[in-house]
Chains A and B, each alone.
Chain A
């Protein structure tokens, strides 16, 4: 891998890539800062426009949006008391009180630098952990891979939403959607009902645009109470003195570690990381009573954790082909459009591309720091845009983006239909991430299952003879037991 660093740096520092990262960073901060948009929506809307690009530019654009949108959420959290992204929910606790007392610029300074350090920390984790995990997964056959994918999906279903049952239903629906169209193994067309377009299968982009963009527009339409512009408290960028940072190095490093570790676990994502990190920082602080009243350590804990998830979540995505959260699921879908298939083969067959991804991620973090600092005032003013003006623009981008895939009107219909389904799912708190991850992993899940059956002559019990698979099936079973309430029963019996 190290022999590819210099060539990767050379190709990354071309004008086109630098310009792409610049555009991606600005776009990412904007979508992150504006409440109602967010990382996933930003990525979803960007994907169709990466189609005419070569894979390096496409990866550069997506990574820069990914990294900078997570940071962008802190701007709204600090200045208008509304997290721009779910990942910035904890930044509200201390960021907004700082803005209220006139320290908005200082808060943005803390958030920007903490986000940068979190991003770089997780990149180091990614560089060292991903190749190791990829080598380990070389030992996996189809049965082990099937067990791992199933476990990952159940974990995603468990932690993505408030209710495990709805998460599992969502994951299963996602897997089913992946089976519509021609079966790669037998050549049969399934669930197409004689429709030529359905026999080609559903493509991920209209699905993503429907589930995230159009459903968001419908959700805002149905629940929006205040159509006016929000009141913005301050703005700007100011760096705290070194002695203030020195006091908080422990918080910073612990939060980065928590974020990176949680990011590696499939399905957990940045939202879980920030709350765990915030709680940890508060518990260990000499002044816990100051948390929630504008204590910079709270803001640092939240912002460093959420950006350190970015590299961690890419570890299972790159090395195993398993997305760590909704954002990496979207990225995986985008990468496959450019014939980049994440997983163990990526490290073996395209180590130069893997190194390029690492280098681009590093550059994207640097751009996030610089653009975030220089553009703080502009991004703050932009928060005054009302959502009723933004959503029609989201619709414009969504429809254009859907059409851009293959100039097929059926994709527009699919996007609208899944927009309605996504809206209805959201109303009753069905989490969207398991649907998307189920769709992304569905074909591979089926393929490994059927391959396993061929190897074992149809004997499913032989699946448990592999120790790795048996452990993963056991863990999956424990998650399902939790669903049936048997987890609580077992704990009650154990207590007696």
Chain B
């Protein structure tokens, strides 16, 4: 598992947040937000500009803080990034499958795949849990509570 220094993380996060905030800030000067005093008494982008400006300034502060703390050795929590990506892919595939294939086919596979990706050792119990949870949740919520479930097949 790898971890990066907190100071480096602060600089990186600060740069990304500042860049995104600046991009949105520049966007507020585009034609679609042209101020029309006949329709509005206060510009619709005044408040967003204040907020985005605040985010930008604070992000710069985060970068400065990162540089000032460069000598410190504190680190972020160690994370197994490949495992995170694996679980994310399983979750995303389950979500996509939910929409295109339907709840009953995809959810048992998705729950099983996520549990397997997380490292649950007993595949038989995992499979049984996946199937029974799919049925129980549908029965309790879809049938009795009338919650909308994605059950249609949308591929092709």
Interface residues of A (CB under 8 A from B): 48-49, 51-53, 165-166, 168-169, 172-173, 175-176, 179, 183, 185-188, 190-191, 214, 217-218, 220-224, 227, 386-389, 391-393, 395-397, 399-400, 403-404, 407, 409, 412-413, 415-416, 419-420, 423-424, 427-428, 430, 446, 449-450, 453-454, 458
Contacts and interface: CB of A to CB of B under 8 A. Distances in A.
A190 B91 contact: no
Given A52-B146, A428-B6, A188 B44 contact: yes
Contact of A389 (B10, B92, B120): B120
A399 B147 contact: no
Contacts of A191: 24, 27, 48
B147 A186 contact: no
A229 to B, nearest CB: 11
Nearest to B90: A395
Contact of A392 (B13, B41, B59, B118): B118
A188 B31 CA distance: 12
Contacts of A423: 84
A175 B50 CA distance: 11
Contacts, number: 184
A427 B61 contact: no
B74 to A, nearest CB: 11
Contacts of B153: none
Contacts of A169: 17, 55, 58-59, 62
B44 A391 contact: no
Given A409-B99, A450-B42, A179 B47 contact: yes
- Secondary structure class of chain B's binding surface, majority of residues: helix
B91 A388 contact: no
B72 to A, nearest CB: 13
Contacts of B9: 427-428
9 contacts: A172-B54, A179-B51, A186-B40, A217-B91, A222-B1, A388-B115, A396-B137, A412-B95, A420-B88
B124 interface: no
Contacts of A404: 141, 147-149
B79 A427 contact: yes
A301 to B, nearest CB: 30
Given A389-B115, A427-B77, A454-B41, A221 B47 contact: no
Given A176-B48, A221-B118, A389-B115, A165 B95 contact: no
Contacts of B129: 389, 392-393
Contact of A400 (B52, B55, B119, B147): B147
Interface in B11-69: 13, 17, 24, 27, 32-33, 39-42, 44-48, 51-52, 54-55, 58-59, 61-62, 65
A168 B55 CA distance: 8
A384 to B, nearest CB: 13
Contacts of B101: none
Contacts of A222: 1, 79-81, 83-84
A168 B58 contact: yes
